[in-house]
Chain A
Amino acid sequence: MASATSDAPISGVAASDVRTPDARTPDARTPLGATVDNGLKIVVVGGFGVGKTTMIHSVSEIRPLSTEETITRAGETVDDTSAVPDKSDTTVAFDFGRITLSARTVLYLFGAPGQERFWYLWDRLFSGALGAVVLVDTRRIDDSWYAIDRLEHLGTPFIVARNDFGGPAHTAEQVRDALDLAPHIPLVDCDARSRASGKRVLITLVEHLKSLHLSHLARNPYATQGAPLQVSPPVVGPSAVGPSVASPPVQELAQ
């Protein structure tokens, strides 16, 4: 099996102080409380080396773990999946961490590679996720552009976090332009190594999700009114596409 990602070695994490797998007995784990009964998912999407695992590690209550899923064929449905890999299969490895939110609720953070073949697995792995953080390395913006395109297609709400690598500074506007980012989608700077920074990114995402909910009357969450940071686009003349796109459903309703 060829590994489609190498954000972390297959054993989980790269840190030199990591316990060997055989030392990871149940006693060495940090178990959840007995009353926890609801698991939630947030996905951190980004290219190789952008800091996904670092960010997850910085906020997780456990050392990030790693697991893998097999891609058997493009576009395959869940029930049609062969669990036993053959030579033509590739696997996608992904790291994850955990935050206990309350006596009943636990949040899992999954780091997902952004490259093309990964997205075949999205429904199988991450359907029902609350939302996603697209972690951007401004030196390699194209990776993130594809992830944003896929998330919009899937209807998964997201924010964009720009990891600070100390490279040449781009203005927020430059990043927004490069990513073709809708005005209402938050773009935040972060330091993936910092727990406080990672926490702030997650809070920004959840506040964004709340604002989407508050504007639920809008048909399309990506075209919502009243969301934070939104700048109402000016309607330029009678040829604006908005009304002509919106009118057919109204006519259908009237018939």
Chain B
Amino acid sequence: MSRPGRDDSPDRLYTLTGGRSRSAPGTPFDLVTLVVAECDPAPGMQSEHAAILRLAERPTAVAEVAAELRLPLTITKILLSDLLAEGRVSARHPRKAVLAGRPDPDILEQVLVGLRNL
């Protein structure tokens, strides 16, 4: 099976998204939004959708999905938007770590503890 690749022609990428060139509004996937599959891949499902569901059996960041599928981020976000709209994945968006230009001190403390334990 040929895999979708970032070296594919724009036409190929266009086909992947059914001709759409942007995500639906209201689905602001961040690079580090964690995607979690809510169902198993089903027969007849678009192969990229099925691949995402297999990847996201455990929480997987949008950037990781794009890297593993070897697709540009924008294309990946469109595919994820489809799955989200169908309820096939859920999204754990990052909590605001920076408010009004200042980082959340509780989050900073968590990060420090985590880094020191490395």
Residues of A within 8 A of B (CB): 10, 12, 21-22, 24, 26, 29, 31-34, 36-41, 59, 65-70, 79, 81-86, 91, 96, 98-102, 105-108, 110, 125-126, 128-131, 155, 157, 195, 199, 202-203, 206-207, 209-210, 212-213, 216, 221
Contact = CB atoms under 8 A, between A and B. Distances in A.
Size class of B's contact patch?
35 or more
Contacts of A81: 22, 74
A14 to B, nearest CB: 16
A59 B63 contact: no
B19 to A, nearest CB: 9
A138 B26 CA distance: 44
A83 B68 contact: no
A12 to B, nearest CB: 7
A129 B108 CA distance: 12
Interface of B: 3, 6-7, 10, 13-14, 17, 20-23, 25, 30-34, 54-55, 57-61, 63-64, 66-68, 70, 72-75, 77-78, 92, 94-98, 101-103, 105, 107-116, 118
A105 B111 contact: yes
A99 B115 contact: yes
16 contacts: A12-B67, A21-B3, A26-B54, A34-B58, A67-B72, A83-B13, A85-B13, A98-B61, A101-B110, A101-B114, A106-B32, A106-B61, A108-B31, A108-B61, A203-B115, A210-B109
Contacts of A210: 103, 105, 108-109, 112
B67 A65 contact: yes
B110 A102 contact: yes
Contacts of A83: 13, 17, 20-23, 72, 74-75, 77-78
B36 to A, nearest CB: 8
A99 B112 CA distance: 12
Contact of A101 (B34, B58, B115): B115
Contact of A155 (B72, B101, B111): B101
